Amino acid sequence: MLHRYRSWVLGIGMSCCVVCPAPAGIVLIEHADGYTLNRKQQLVQFDAMAFDEQGKVRAVGHARALRKQFPAASHIDLQGKTVLPGLIDAHGHIMGLGISALQLALRSTEDLPQAQRVIADYAARFPQKQWILGGEWNQANWKLERFPSAQDIDAVVRDRPVWLSRVDGHAAWANSKAMQLAGISRETPDPAGGKIERDTYGNPTGIFIDSAMELIDRVLPVATEAENLQALDTALQIIRQAGLTSVHDAGVSAPADHLFREYAKTGRLTVRVYGMIAGVGEFFDSVVVDGPFNGDADRYTLRAVKLFADGALGSRGAALLAPYSDAPQVSGLLFKSQQEMNAMVRKAAEQHYQVNVHAIGDAGNRQILNAFAVLPASLRTELRHRIEHAQVVSLEDIPRFRTLGIIPSMQPTHATSDMNMAESRVGSQRIRGAYAWRRFLQQGSRIACGSDFPVESPNPFWGMYAAVTRQDMQGQPRNGWYPGQAMTMKEAFRCFTLDAAYAAHQENILGSLETGKWADFIVIDRNIFRIPAQQIFQTQVLETWVAGQRVYRAGASTAASVDVSGIR
């Protein structure tokens, strides 16, 4: 969903990140309460696993048999702790996560006056900042029956430009100074695919939706190399603490691509990155010369493209087939014509890149399904194209995902974050095709789950909790929001593991703990298959391992180093 990268912050202590070599020879972890899926998607329990110094799984099973099979192995006693395959976030924004963690955040504010106090305090604490950047505001949480305005910021910060993204990243809020620097006036036209909110006299109010945000973005100071490095290091720390060992990055820019390649080559990329090139413009044209990229040890892969069909539901930018139920004069925005979208999809597919398209509204989803439908079958079925979010889909279009072989890439926490406004936006009939995970699963679609961080928390256990309960963390609504669309625990686990791996063409190397796959796994503090569903979000990650290297350990001063004290 994220169109601009702004704040979601995980409160953590930063630590040095130095990945140490894996222990030599075979390592056998034992006394584990382990769970994985097999190739038949059956849930398998184990108490021991062996992996080699290349970081590949050699065997999974029971300690007695594995001790005989590997008599010279080093041993790690997990003392009954739960082990899972490393979890995969199928839709996140890595650089955005790091940038957001270092900026102003309004997510926790309960009303506009509190947000104003936070903005004023941030400005006072950072007088050297030329621009005050950040976001995560949500007028629905403020019970504000309107968008905030430039004057609301001007009341507390007038001398410096302020530019704050909405929580979904598809709208942003400027003060008068920011609009002045960008040359915005009542004569400034709405750009294609965007909208400038205006008052009754036609004057810009300070809210810019979707592509209109570029009018302000273009005058922002360019991030320095040091700032980009700090953002990436911050993001990697957050990600490994969350228990994620792989992320599908939904919109890789040229600078991010450079950093990912460099970090992968030097051993600093502590999460596997499956990259989606941001668009089919100049950057795409420059990289397709060499074809899809897969770096050493599968740390960084670039073989997909990210496109956008429409905006977001909260800002009413998502494109609907009929007007919004709570705003009959508005139907949202399609960013491209059908012909233009068809051409973009085909351009990427003809270069053998998977095409993953953001689509929130039913009109956006239909446009993308139509674009995929006109591709030659050879450019569709083998590439496993995806619709990112697939959030509000016409009931008649849901079966087309299956017949066209399109993967719905969905984010469970979007449902629980949006349930305070989604039905008012689309009404009681269209909501039946919204966040409709059960409908997709019943027809045989494989859902790839993610979070869309930093729009939502990158914590995958929050995602599993939302998938299973369809409740917020206060247990509301009591029986879940449209509980008939909930997943089982096994289904939620699968969509963050094997099915997410499948959505990246990586099911033969990731997504489960099986012989020959990478030894990417996590150790957690409870058995998610046995606890009450209401406790899933409380799960804590104790250790994160990537390719047989421990990259995170709770409480360790150097989170990425391998502590050999547990090996004998």
pLDDT reading at 1 higher than 80: no
- The per-residue pLDDT for 201 is 95
Query: What digits encode the pLDDT tens for the residues 473-504?
Result: 999 999 999 999 999 999 999 999 999 999 99
CA–CA separation, 480 and 416 (whole Å): 9
Instruction: Please give the mean pLDDT across all residues of the chain.
Output: 93
Residue 6 falls inside a structural domain = no
Within 8 A by CB and 6+ apart from 1, the residues are 168, 169, 170, 312, 358, 360, 388, 389, 411, 414, 452, 455
- For 53, list phi and psi in degrees, rounded to 5: -75, -10
Answer whether residue 560 is part of any domain: no
What residue type is 317 in one-letter code?
Answer: G
For residue 315, what pLDDT is reported?
86
Q: What is the pLDDT of residues 310-336, one digit of tens each?
A: 999 988 999 999 999 999 999 999 999
Quote the pTM value: 0.88
In tens, the pLDDT along 214-253 reads: 999 999 998 889 999 999 999 999 999 999 999 999 999 9
Is residue 201 located within the same domain as residue 320? no
- 564 falls within a domain: no
Residue 38 lies in a domain: no
| Whole-number Å distance between alpha carbons of 361 and 48 | 46
Using the 3D structure, point to which of 182, 203, 218 is the last residue of a domain.
218
Last residue of a domain, one of 183, 218, 253: 218
We report the CATH number of the domain holding residue 398 as 3.20.20.140
Pair 433, 392: CB distance under 8 Å: yes
CATH number at 147 reads 3.10.310.70
Alpha carbons 34 and 15: distance in angstroms, whole number: 28
Higher pLDDT, 566 or 520: 520
Predicted confidence at residue 19, as pLDDT, reads: 53
The total number of structural domains in the chain stands at 2
- Domain containing 188 equals 131-218
Count the alpha carbons within 13 Å of 117 in the hemisphere toward its beta carbon: 7
Chain mean position to CA 133? 21
Q: Over the stretch 10-27, which tens digit does the pLDDT of each residue have?
A: 333 333 344 545 556 999
Is 298 in a helix, a strand, or coil? helix
